[in-house]
């Protein structure tokens, strides 16, 4: 996904910008086109159009959350009565529940969460995955509940249940998140990582459950019908198996096939978005001068996928490996943690390959689970 944009003044502008800092031109993000647009007022009051679009440019309304702590720069396309009825953009309409924004840190955390959610949503849209607010499709839509636990009340667990992603807003507090990262021995823990992981549970329902892909899923990831609660208890009491890295992308992925899928899904989104961003700025993995043994077709499951899809996946994967080696060395030069603290085993690559195939081939949409996905994940 390209995140490199240029204003009409020829200065660079970035995904989160709502105004060009060079010429002060208003900016807005068109999520369906994946473009950050310089804007000018249209003839109709309250509407905007792209500066580069000419007289027949499509019309937009600015998301109502632009002026809130969310600082949303996404646009609401106005091409029909249905679209023009929305005051919030697609991404903001995904949020169903907010904490008390009268508390200053809650508003600040909400802003950080929405920025991460916009990055997630833009990636999902770029992959042409179904993304509809639950308020508009109660049966299959997606919703986010951003919650803060009350003193003496029940704790809030980040997780997914039947189309609703719950996020503990404290994850937006850097100190809290770092403390949890250290105590849980996680080399990587971010807001965006949480959202990508939980979206994996949602899309398992949408793309895998009840679909022809379920057999392949069980062959590669394992049988998801295994007792989830018992698997979590074992993981938290005994930890991951010593050899988890030979089969999974993370230690947490080893506890249950659902978590293995969600961690692998998140990993795939990390890779796609980072490579797309790097490519947008002219940084390509195949141009990194690094002698290393590339992955070849032997790493994939025999008979899985067509030749063209497999070749593109392997090319993409090898570009990623070269890019991350260089990025890790750059991080070390700054004295900070590796940007990519992972090593991909052959079984993990096969799991990423299945995620890739399901997305590329636009898997049939499965049915809803008879029992809800777990809240804690």
Percentage, residues of the chain above pLDDT 70:
91
Give the length of the chain: 377
**What value does the mean pLDDT take over residues 129-140?**
96
Say whether pLDDT at 230 is over 90: yes
Q: What is the dihedral of CA 153, 156, 157, 159, to 10 degrees?
A: 130
d(CA 45, CA 67): 18
- Please determine, for residue 83, whether its predicted confidence score (pLDDT) is greater than 90: no
pLDDT at 288: 67
pLDDT, tens digit, for every residue of 9-67? 999 999 999 999 999 999 999 999 999 999 999 988 889 999 876 556 789 999 999 99
Instruction: Give residue-wise pLDDT tens across range 144-197.
Output: 999 998 777 788 999 999 999 999 999 998 888 888 888 777 777 899 999 999
> Mean pLDDT, to the nearest integer, of 81-85?
55
pLDDT at 80 (0 to 100): 53
DSSP string covering 233-281: HHHHHH-S-TTGGGT-SSSGGGG-HHHHHHHHHHHHHHHHHHHHHHHHT
Q: Specify the higher pLDDT residue, 278 or 293.
A: 278
Which has more confidence, 82 or 35?
Answer: 35
CA 317/CA 352 separation, integer angstroms: 10
How high does pLDDT run on average in the chain? 89
Given a cut of 60, is residue 377 above it in pLDDT?
no
The pLDDT assigned to 44 comes to 84
Residue 81: pLDDT above 60? no
- Span 210-220, pLDDT tens digits: 999 999 999 99
Alpha-carbon distance values, 336 to 49, 221, 332 (Å) = 42, 33, 6
For the whole model, what pTM was predicted? Answer: 0.90
* pLDDT tens per residue, range 291-347: 667 888 889 987 787 888 899 999 999 999 989 988 999 999 999 989 898 889 999
Cβ atoms within 10 Å of 324's Cβ, excluding its own: 22
364, pLDDT greater than 80? no
Q: Please compute the mean of the pLDDT values over residues 272-281 and round it to a whole number.
A: 92
Which of 195-199, 329-333, 355-359, 367-371 is the least confident region? 367-371
What is the Cα–Cα distance from 366 to 208, expressed in whole angstroms?
Answer: 6
pLDDT of 306 reads 85
Sequential DSSP letters for 101-152 = TTSHHHHHHHHHHHHHHHHHHHHHHHTT----BTTT-TTT-BEEEEE-PPTT
- 370, pLDDT greater than 60: no
Q: What do you get for the CA distance between the two ends of the chain, in Å?
A: 27
Retrieve residue 221's tokens. Answer: 């990831």
For residue 76, what is the enclosing H or E element? strand 75-77
- Mean pLDDT in residue range 226-250: 94
């Amino acid at each position: 996904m390209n995140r490199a944009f240029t204003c009409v003044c020829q200065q660079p502008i970035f995904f989160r910008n709502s105004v060009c800092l060079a010429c002060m031109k208003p900016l807005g993000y068109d999520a369906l086109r994946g473009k950050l647009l310089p804007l000018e007022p249209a003839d109709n009051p309250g509407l905007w159009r792209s500066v580069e679009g000419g007289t027949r440019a499509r019309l937009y309304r600015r998301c109502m959350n632009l002026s809130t702590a969310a600082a949303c720069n996404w646009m609401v396309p106005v091409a029909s009565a249905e679209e023009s009825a929305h005051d919030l953009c697609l991404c903001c309409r995904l949020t169903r529940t907010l904490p008390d924004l009268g508390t200053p840190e809650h508003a600040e955390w909400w802003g950080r969460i929405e920025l991460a959610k916009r990055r997630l949503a833009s990636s999902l849209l770029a992959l042409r995955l179904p993304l509809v607010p639950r308020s508009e499709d109660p049966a299959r839509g997606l919703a986010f509940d951003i919650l803060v636990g009350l003193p003496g009340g029940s704790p809030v667990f980040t997780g997914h249940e039947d189309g609703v992603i719950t996020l503990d807003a404290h994850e937006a507090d850097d100190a809290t998140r770092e403390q949890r990262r250290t105590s849980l021995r996680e080399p990587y823990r971010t807001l965006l990582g949480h959202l990508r992981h939980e979206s994996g549970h949602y899309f398992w329902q949408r793309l895998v459950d009840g679909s022809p892909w379920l057999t392949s899923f069980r062959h590669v990831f394992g049988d998801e019908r295994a007792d989830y609660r018992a698997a979590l208890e074992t993981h938290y009491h005994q930890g991951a198996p010593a050899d988890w890295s030979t089969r999974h992308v993370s230690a947490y992925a080893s506890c249950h096939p659902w978590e293995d899928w969600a961690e692998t899904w998140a990993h795939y989104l990390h890779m796609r978005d980072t490579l797309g961003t790097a490519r947008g700025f002219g940084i390509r993995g195949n141009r990194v001068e690094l002698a290393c043994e590339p992955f070849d077709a032997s790493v994939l499951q025999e008979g899985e996928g067509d030749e063209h899809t497999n070749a593109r996946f392997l090319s993409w994967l090898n570009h990623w490996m070269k890019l991350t080696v260089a990025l890790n060395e750059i991080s070390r030069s700054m004295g900070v943690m590796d940007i990519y603290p992972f090593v991909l085993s052959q079984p993990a690559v096969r799991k990423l390959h299945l995620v890739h195939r399901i997305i590329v081939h636009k898997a049939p949409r499965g049915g809803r689970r008879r029992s809800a996905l777990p809240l804690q994940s």
